[in-house]
Amino acid sequence: MTSDDPRPPPRRSFFGALGPNELKGLFWQVLVVGIALAVIVFLWSNTVTNLSARRITTGFAFLGREAGMPIADSLLAYNPKDSYLWAFAVGVANTLRVALIGIVLATILGTLIGISRLSANWLLSRLAAVYVEVLRDIPLLLQLLFWYVLMQALPAARAAWRPVEGVFLSNRGLILPAVPIGAPQLWVLGTAVLGFIAFLAIRRWLVAHPIREGKPRPAWPFAVGLIVVLPAAVSFLLGVSWTIEWPQLRGFNFVGGLTLAPEYFALLIALVTYTSAFIAEIVRSGIQSVPHGQWDAARALGLRRSFMLRQIILPQALRVIVPPMTSQYLNLTKNSSLAVAIGYQDVVSVANTTLNQTGQAIEAISLIMAVFLTISLGISFFMNWYNARIALAER
């Protein structure tokens, strides 16, 4: 066919356009996908056959039935007459109660220990190193059982330890003073959160758009107005009471205040101390990844060490710290399922009880997997967003 021929070139078939290597790769991909589908079909067919033979119905209709199970320590209001669906919701709330608070506390403790490992104080750095090496090398389950047994060995409520006025520690758990939280208090706290978000946006605008004189405009008046004055005004208008409720011993137990049950307290301590040992190493390596010239330049300017860490070193180290820190957050969340070993009723414990009462094994396990998958994806999404936000801009 000459270049002057107006006819289009003949079309080649899909397989004709592929070379030998492409055809070989396509064959193996189709084979692997076919085997995977065959295995899934076999497992599904075998499961349905076995369930039919045992006269076990499938589906999630059981979630609407009365649960009848007691949940001693719950963040949400619960009654055994509630449905299985609400019992699962209570279990999810208990899991989040451990995971979110544990992530915050482990981050703070791990950061402090990681910085301590680099301290010029020999004793402090050695103690931090011992903390990291010991806690990382002991299985988490053993640490969890240790803290739970230790909580059970505490004195009874009548002889409770009182480290601080209004705080009690006994085999009933940790009892703290608390402010009763209702709808009015939630309105005020919500206003404070919105004010904080608005302040962050305003501060970012102030940094990007300085005034014409070239002097930065102070952001603290906006912080005071949005975070302090505005919530105080809402509290005054709604007549919100912020009276502290102090715990008191009545009979063999405490009344009032905030009670952290022994199971929850032991689980929280074990997760925080164990995870913080790994976070400490991440923070230490992140700080050491910052070029030493940054330290020298800061010292040449006469800056304090605390200011150097806070304003110069840690912001640069975050780019190295955040990715592995995400893995530790996910590990802490998934490790909270060990709560079943000490009787803390998280979503795994509630699902196990539901499985034993209803026989809906596949559904109960599927719910557990869905809950942890959703929580893990949420943590990963937030950390990936934050990591992208602090990443260096390519030029």
Which amino acid makes up residue 387? Answer: N
Spell out the alpha helix ranges (H) of the chain: 20-53, 84-117, 122-137, 140-152, 183-208, 220-223, 230-238, 262-288, 292-300, 305-308, 314-335, 347-358, 361-390
Written as six digits, the tokens of 347 are 């979503």
Q: Which residue has the tokens 């602090």?
A: 390
Q: Distance of CA 325 to CAs 139, 161, 245, 316, 337, Å?
A: 20, 36, 37, 15, 20
Supply the mean pLDDT for the chain: 84
Tell me, what's the pLDDT at 381?
92
Average pLDDT over residues 239-267: 83
List, for residues 283-301, the tens digit of each pLDDT value: 999 888 888 887 778 778 7
CA angle 272/273/278 to nearest 5° reads 95
Whether the pTM exceeds 0.85: the reply is no
Distance in angstroms (rounded) separating the CA atoms of residues 320 and 332 = 20
Instruction: Round the CA-based radius of gyration of the chain to a whole number and report it.
Output: 29
Cβ atoms of 311 and 173 closer than 8 Å: no
Average pLDDT over residues 94-114: 94
Tell me, what's the pLDDT at 207?
65
Quick check: 393 pLDDT over 80? no
Cβ atoms of 88 and 352 closer than 8 Å: no
CA 386 to chain centroid = 15
Give the burial class of 120: count Cβ atoms within 10 A of its Cβ; 0-12 exposed, 13-18 middle, 19 or more buried: exposed
Written as six digits, the tokens of 346 are 């998280």
Strongest mean pLDDT among 81-85, 139-143, 152-156, 186-190: 139-143
First to last CA, the chain: 49
Written as six digits, the tokens of 235 are 């509290």
φ, ψ (nearest 5 deg) of residue 175 = -110, 125
Which amino acid makes up residue 139? Answer: P
Average pLDDT over residues 246-269: 84
Tell me, what's the pLDDT at 63?
86
Task: State percent of the chain over pLDDT 70.
Answer: 90
Quick check: 395 pLDDT over 50? no
DSSP state of 160: -
- If you count them, how many residues does the chain have? 395
Residue 169: pLDDT band (50, 70, 90) is confident
List, for residues 328-354, the tens digit of each pLDDT value: 999 999 999 999 898 888 999 999 998
List, for residues 63-84, the tens digit of each pLDDT value: 888 888 888 888 888 888 889 9
Closest by Cα among 281, 278, 282 to 319: 282
Which amino acid makes up residue 295? Answer: W
Task: State percent of the chain over pLDDT 90.
Answer: 32
Residue 140: pLDDT band (50, 70, 90) is very high
